Structure 1
Amino acid sequence: MQPSAPRRRAATLAATALAVVAAVALTPHSADASAGQPAKVKSPVAAGQVLKTGAEPRKVRFDDSTLAATMTTLNASEPIPGTAWVPDPRINKVVVTADPTVTEAKLAQLNTVLKPLGDTVQLERTDSELKLYLSGGDAIYGSSASTIRARCSLGFNVKRSGKPDAFLTAGHCGNPIKSWSTSDGGPEVALVPAGGSSFPGNDYAIAEYTAAEPHPSNVNLYNGTYQAITSARDAVLNESVQRSGSTTHLHGGTVTGLNATVNYKEGQVTGLIRTNVCAEPGDSGGALFSGTAAIGLTSGGTGDCTNGGTTYYQPVTEALSAFGATIP
């Protein structure tokens, strides 16, 4: 884990988190159909009914339960670092991704897992390593009370009944670093309570404010303005989203998959959101959002913001539920 270079203190702990070791997700989500997507049908009668609605029918070979069974089988297999999988309704298969580190024995192991699944899976290779991202929006640092001088990002500010105001960030940040500051090695402004961090398997943490630090419910857009955040919801397939991070600032794209599983070297995580938004080390923990709605926390992925890439996010609704928190 490489600490990020010190940066000037942010004016406020707005709404994005910079992570030290990026992590992952949580529980499975159902894939929502988006407007404009062909309707799946399995018979001529059903196709006729779809046509009457004005939608475009598309015959599918595998139903949702079959693809769900494939995901269950893959999730139960021995994790192979450098791999990921997600149901893709566009091709009616589970897309399995393997990065350049999956070679020889690891590749043979993967092929052994995939062979019995037949045409329900499609293997794709990436030319860059699948990894956790290291930093995100307004920066937070290991404080002077912490033995680790690493940098992460604040995700979203939250409230809980009868408890101190707090912020969400990635669990891989909250695991090693309990005391946070807004400057490198500065005084503590927030503290991760006992049981306030979960990674791997999940990738979320909560840190309670211990100082009178301004903490509005917004996201830094890195153009001198901020996006107000007033609610939280699950991601929708093919919707447009934005991500804010302290390394690469603001970038946008679309949600390309739900319920993704990622096998990092640090462990397996499930139930992630997959997007085509780029990110780089230092963006981890940052806010994924759509308009005024909080969607997720930046985890990891492949590629960069020069050549593009794939990124994965912890659903924010899972973290809110785990901590009994709400968006202000």
Structure 2
Amino acid sequence: MRSMRRIRNCLLAATSIAAVMASTGLAQAQPAPTGSGNTYEPAMVEALADSLGISKHAAVQRLDDQHTQQQRLDRLRRDGVETDGAYFTDGRLTLNVTGRSDAKRARHAGLSARVPERGARALEKITDELDARAKRKTPSGVVSWSADLSSDSVVVKVADADRDAATRTFLSAARKYGKAVRVEKDTERLAVQRDVYPGSRMNLNNNPGSWCSVGFGATSSSGTEYLVTAGHCIEKLPGLYFDGSRFAKGTTGRFHVGEHSVDMGVARVDSGWDITPTVGTWGSTGNVAVRGSNRAPVGADLCKSGSTTGWTCGSVEGYDVSVTYTDRNGGPDTVVTGLGSSTVCTEGGDSGGAYISGDQAQGMTSGGPIGQTCGGVYDEGHSYFQPLDDALSYYGLDLTTR
């Protein structure tokens, strides 16, 4: 049996003080059964229904359809169908396959299929080569570059093509790939979303003016508990404080300003504290249980909980995204690779906050456009997140689930 201190010190992933208190004394909303036998947290159903302007019944049907299609994809892969990427468009899952026979099998299973000119692996090779070039010298005028499966191309977004020599060299190299790369104008400048504002949820070194948001709990093979977070939140390995009390200490991370980085890191949780497997929704509805970390396909619905904008929802845009983050304190720009992108709205201070799709944990907020403002739960925006499954694999941790 847990001590009273452990019960009092349970933290909800990226939630509010009120939600933490509620978790110790109030019953949480229970998942609602559906006609398919699946269960979905009321928070996810309500958020999806409101964001799409549909009924809750239609939202459940949409989630059922996505779940069924993902199961069909899993069966096809087990049966030997070779896929080269998959993505949702308007609720329908499309597979990239390597031959007509596999395309026929996919269609027979009720899925859309195509044999692309390039496919995910070829696009990944291009992004890897662009990453290597950016690692040598940061192209500060380039916002991001990533594979877009639906168009079967790599999209390079550019804010200022003449920003510096490194940008011009990078774009020249990108254009040599011909139709495999699309260069688009984008006026956004991106930044990590640890920020300096009054108030906090996860204070860095107990500084009330500097904070991030709580992410997911995980354990090592020896049973040590860690907080999995965005690497830039713990770059200098700070103590992490919740409501004035330290609950964790930064242990290691892969983000370093001015260097080629991956935005993941872990903090060892102090004795007597727990990161509960429940994501708070900031009063939007009941808390959402975490039951796994299966990666959601491109186009799938997901929501995020963060200490600045609370509970916001959207969909997955892509994975293996590389971005150039601007340091608003005047430091050097930083190229970060391996991110996911989404239409979820975030602001400064949301960094480290939990992304979840259904009951599957997806990742932690990394960054977004400078100056972006979020008007509510369903206000569409743009953000980047560190995929959780990659972080768990890299650090050899097991997600804490309910």
Alpha carbon RMSD of aligned pairs, Å? 3.1
Using the size of structure 2 for normalisation, the TM-score is 0.65
The alpha-carbon deviation at position 278 of structure 1 amounts to 1.2
Give the alignment partner of residue 117 of structure 2, picking from 61, 65, 68. 61
Judged with a 3 Å threshold, the aligned counterparts in structure 2 of structure 1 residues 187 and 117 are, in CA distance, closer, same or farther, namely same
Q: Which runs of 5+ in 1 are unaligned?
A: 1-9, 19-29
Bigger shift: 59-68 or 295-304? 59-68
1:89 maps to a residue whose letter is: L
Corresponding position of 1:143: 205
Q: Describe the SS at the equivalent of 2:144.
A: strand
Bigger RCO (CA 8 Å, 6+ sep): 1
Bigger shift: 278-287 or 71-80? 71-80
CA distance in 2, matches of 1:299, 1:109: 27
Measured against aligned partners, the alpha-carbon deviations of 1:248-286 in whole angstroms (never above 9, x if no partner) come to 111111111111112224422222111111111111110
Alignment of 1:237 onto 2:309: no
1:216 maps to a residue whose letter is: T
CA distance in 2, matches of 1:45, 1:233: 28
For residues 179-258 of structure 1, what are the structure 2 equivalents within 5 Å? 179-183=239-243, 186-193=244-251, 196-200=252-256, 201-213=261-273, 215-223=275-283, 225-258=286-319
Corresponding position of 2:374: 305
The alpha-carbon deviation at position 199 of structure 1 amounts to 1.2
The alpha-carbon deviation at position 104 of structure 1 amounts to 4.3
CA distance in 2, matches of 1:217, 1:65: 34
Measured against aligned partners, the alpha-carbon deviations of 1:8-35 in whole angstroms (never above 9, x if no partner) come to xx985211289xxxxxxxxxxx744447
Corresponding position of 1:13: 11
Alignment of 1:80 onto 2:139: yes
The alpha-carbon deviation at position 327 of structure 1 amounts to 2.0
The alpha-carbon deviation at position 170 of structure 1 amounts to 1.3
Structure with more helix by fraction: 2
Corresponding position of 1:162: 222
**Residues 15 and 281 in structure 2, CA contact (< 8 A), matched pair in contact too:** no
Judged with a 3 Å threshold, the aligned counterparts in structure 2 of structure 1 residues 105 and 291 are, in CA distance, closer, same or farther, namely same
Q: Describe the SS at the equivalent of 1:238.
A: coil
Judged with a 3 Å threshold, the aligned counterparts in structure 2 of structure 1 residues 52 and 308 are, in CA distance, closer, same or farther, namely closer
The alpha-carbon deviation at position 112 of structure 1 amounts to 1.3
How many residues align? The count is: 299
Q: Describe the SS at the equivalent of 1:189.
A: strand
Measured against aligned partners, the alpha-carbon deviations of 1:137-178 in whole angstroms (never above 9, x if no partner) come to x8211235x8x9521111012223434423121111111242
CA distance in 1, matches of 2:395, 2:115: 42
The percent of aligned pairs where both chains have the same amino acid is 25
Using the size of structure 1 for normalisation, the TM-score is 0.78
Larger Rg: 2
Q: Which runs of 5+ in 2 are unaligned?
A: 1-7, 17-83, 327-332
Bigger shift: 43-52 or 59-68? 43-52
Bigger shift: 34-43 or 246-255? 34-43
